[in-house]
Amino acid sequence: MSEQRKWEKDGRFFTSPWNWMDSAREGLAFPSTVKFHDVTLRDGEQQAGVAFSEEDKLAIARRLDAAGVHRIEAGMPIVSPADQAAVERIVAEGLNAEIFAFARCMVADVEKAAEAGVKGVVVEIPSSGHIIDRGYGWPLDRAISASVEATLAAKEAGLYTVFFTIDSSRAELDWYLDLVAEVATNGHMDALALVDTFGVVAPQAIPEWVRKVRERLPDKPLEAHFHDDFGLAVANTISALSCGVEVVHSTVTGIGERAGNTPMEELALALEMLYGLEQPLNTEAFYGLSRLVRERAGHNVPTNRAVVGDRLFQVESGIIAGWLQRCVDQYPTEVFPYHWGVVGQPRAHVVYGKGSGIASVDMAVEALAVETTEDERRALLTEIKSRGLDLKTLISIEEVKELLDQLRS
């Protein structure tokens, strides 16, 4: 593919050439590859009303692995024997993905994680003075001492240790930087997670956050864990990656506490199709994986949700139906920014309702293999629109046939 056409690739996607203007890319410093650390089975399960069984977790872990996720955060073993058993079963599955556990900054939590046989552990501690005081009722020095003790225990257990500072983005900056520097010096961390627990940081603040941390920890790998309370988790994660952060924490379809976490599918497509960054996930697995997680979580999403919405590639508008009629086989990305097959969705097709147009009717009678006059097609369109408005929903091709039969009776 030529340098000039990075925005359009083999019918896979067609995005904006403006993304590739030199002035638009100035200052971007993405890593050569991005690693996806999936937290669906831990942070995703913290969404209100979601409860995954051991079998649910194992099924999801297998599909995450098949999608090419680098790490799977399988759970928090200290929570219960059932959680411990689920983590152990996922470890025993022998997946290609590295299996991590989550732990509070408590030695007992770390020991439980090590017993489960995981490769690494994410060790959490509150990092803002106000939440340490109001949420936990701790003195500040307890956060430091607990962090040092627990991370040293993780090192002793041979676990890759990600130090995870809750509420980083609302922390008093100097206190937060002192905390992470203290743990890096006197405790242990293989990597530091930049954690926006409440989804309250803005994209323009991320580079400064990264810069401040790197002044204290110049050689420490950084990971991004952002929540979506203002709908900015993907934008914030991309901002972090553009500063050289290498690992992203994400969930399937963004499930998670409150408004959820960074959605894996949206982030992966944006990195590839808007920034030209190689990402190793199997995007064709996205729709099926999302459907599995939604089914096991009892979680519904809007039908027009990006990437995985069930009606994302259905066309009701008469104008767009005309586009689809002319382009669907040879030029599908004239109608959609990425091909349905790229994300494992069913083939794009026309549906019928109040928004239908004459092109929709033309496609319907073709699908039904019936001969009609122009007057019949226009009368049928009127009936389709009326039925769609009355029912306030789509109508099936079988109902279209019934309407046509009624017109002819």
**Predicted local confidence at residue 228, as pLDDT:** 98
* Cα–Cα distance measured from residue 120 to residue 393, given in angstroms and rounded to the nearest whole number: 49
- For the chain, give the number of residues: 409
Query: pLDDT tens across 12-47, in order?
Result: 999 999 999 999 999 999 998 999 999 999 999 999
**pLDDT tens digits for the chain (409 residues)?**
445 588 988 889 999 999 999 999 999 999 989 999 999 999 999 999 999 999 999 999 999 999 999 999 999 999 999 999 999 999 999 999 999 999 999 999 999 999 999 999 999 987 777 877 777 777 777 778 889 999 999 999 999 999 999 899 999 999 899 999 999 999 999 999 999 999 999 999 999 999 999 999 999 999 999 999 999 999 999 999 999 999 999 999 999 999 999 999 999 999 999 999 988 899 999 999 999 999 999 999 999 999 999 999 999 999 999 999 999 999 999 999 999 999 999 999 999 999 999 999 999 999 999 999 999 999 999 999 999 999 999 999 999 999 999 998 8
Pairing of strands 8-9, 13-14: antiparallel
- Buried b or exposed e, range 376-386, using 16+ CB within 10 angstroms: beebbbebbbe
Closest CA to 334 of 310, 315, 309, 353: 315
Give the number of other CB atoms < 10 A from CB of residue 140. 14
Alpha helices, H only, 116-232 = 129-131, 140-156, 173-186, 206-216
Q: What is the CA radius of gyration of the chain?
A: 25
* Cα–Cα distance measured from residue 361 to residue 321, given in angstroms and rounded to the nearest whole number: 9
Residues in a beta bridge with 196: 226
Is residue 126 within 8 A of residue 134, CB to CB? The reply is no
**Predicted local confidence at residue 4, as pLDDT:** 59
The domain locations on the chain are 18-297, 314-408
**Predicted local confidence at residue 399, as pLDDT:** 93
* Sign of the torsion angle spanned by Cα atoms 372, 374, 378, 379: negative
Is residue 187 within 8 A of residue 147, CB to CB? The reply is yes
* Cα–Cα distance measured from residue 214 to residue 221, given in angstroms and rounded to the nearest whole number: 9
Name 48's Cβ contacts closer than 8 Å, sequence gap at least 6.
none
* Cα–Cα distance measured from residue 354 to residue 393, given in angstroms and rounded to the nearest whole number: 8
Q: What is the CATH number of domain 18-297?
A: 3.20.20.70
Alpha helices, H only, 67-139 = 81-92, 107-115, 129-131
